Amino acid sequence: MDYAERTKACHTLVTEEAVLEALKADKGVETQLTSWRIEDFTKFGDNYASIVTSVVVCFALDGVEEQTSYVVKVNPCHGYPNMEAATNIGFVKEAEFYGKLLPRLNAAMAEASLETLRLPKYYHSCLEVGKELLFLEDLRRRSFKMYDRRRGLDVAHAVLVLKELAKLHAASLLLQNEDPEYFQNTLLQKDWSNAFDGVIDVDVMFGGHFDNTVAMLEKIGGYETAIKWIQSTKPNIRGILGDQLEPSKYHVLCHGDAWNNNCLFRYNEAGDPEEVMLVDLQLNHRVSFGNDLNYFLYTSLAGDVRRPNLDALLETYRGHFNTVMEAGAGGKGCLSKVEVQKEFRSKNIIGAIFGMLTVNFVLLDPASLEKYAENDTKQGEGEKDLNKDFEKLKEYFLAMIDTNPLIRPRLLAMFDEFKEFGLIPT
């Protein structure tokens, strides 16, 4: 099934009943739905764990005809039967975040007289396995849009994201102070290391990208120490990821998937970014704040932006985190400069793992991948196997080192930093 066919299959899951529920949650129970239609706005390469589309809704309220729209996240109809359970976990986690956790986090922020978290409004969800839907605010109506992920964020964009991550992290500590038992939630203990048990071989998924990175570095040459480190780390991937869930004093509620595609920006008339909205909370979980920082900085920034500005970016994060803790907890829980830098460095392994996992997805040319996927679909027979498809995708990614000029500098800058910081022995 190619992307167009998948999208059509997803459309059939969006029902009038669900649209009406979202409309009533937004406009009130007296609202009358008069018509609605699906309007796609994302393209191949934008969606992974779900298909994102929108519905345009016409309605009547108090005798006045009006129109609005909602973004709808839909079960991706990927054709992997054994993936449905993992897909459902992601939708349930995100629905619980928006429906239960976010109101509590924002209440804690309001209690401290702080601005609430910048996330879209949530209206309705369907969590039946295989038919999952999530209706959210259409942020395009407020002029938010996606940044070109292949370019890598500049400092101005990165600062906005770090501010919001800091607020999210700190707000979770305010809520924890208020209700210590609140975060004893098993779903918040679900992350990359255990959410896919029995579904995806995590060692194959991550290990395949490790192998692919080794092949790329061998092609480039001069990175023997990095290759040895990757090869020695590969057998421990599951354990490394699992260790992140062990409680520590730096544990907060993390976004879990903070990269370019999950940040939408609004710009002023001069074209400067003024505001960011974090989206896609399917992997939210409790780990060290250093995990989110590493994930974001090594998936979404090029080395020539990240390295010279790293200390200042970490200080930006610390300043906004401490602002929340000072207002809401009297300064208890504030972080020192040394603490932030030390915790960030201690989690560089997360930056390396997810940098290797995502760099190809971030920088790929969607048109070429779509053509590759269509050819593979025509040649494939029988039931789809996700682990086998990961293996096939590696061939496409390996070829990118010669065909995509963005890959080499992004990849090498990452490993140069990890050698400088001591993660990789010199």
Query: Where do the domains of the chain lie?
Result: 3-421
Span 244-292, pLDDT tens digits: 988 899 999 999 999 999 999 999 999 999 999 999 999 999 999 999 9
Quote the CA–CA distance of 288 and 391 in Å, as a whole number.
31
Q: Which tens digit of pLDDT belongs to each residue from 377-413?
A: 554 545 566 566 666 777 777 778 888 888 999 999 9
Asked whether the beta carbons of 369 and 270 are under 8 A apart, the reply is: no
Task: Give the phi and the psi of residue 55 in degrees, each rounded to 5.
Answer: -120, 135
Please tell me what DSSP assigns to residue 246. Answer: S
Arithmetic mean of pLDDT, 292-311: 97
Span 58-83, pLDDT tens digits: 999 999 999 999 999 999 987 777 77
Specify the DSSP element, H or E, that contains 73.
strand 64-74
In 3D space, the residue among 366, 355, 372 whose CA is nearest the CA of residue 410 turns out to be: 355
Report the number of secondary-structure helices (H) and strands (E) in the chain. Answer: 15, 10
How many angstroms separate the CA atoms of 313 and 160, rounded?
Answer: 10
pLDDT tens-place string over residues 174-210: 999 999 888 887 788 877 777 766 666 777 778 888 9
C-alpha R_g of the chain? 22
pLDDT in tens, 100-116: 999 999 999 999 999 99
* Residues shown for the chain: 426
Whole-number pLDDT of residue 379: 47
Alpha helices in 97-201 (DSSP H): 102-111, 155-178
Average pLDDT over residues 168-179: 96
Residue 267 φ then ψ, to 5°: -120, 155
Question: Terminus-to-terminus CA distance in the chain, angstroms?
Answer: 46
Please name the residue that has the structure tokens 């070429």: 368
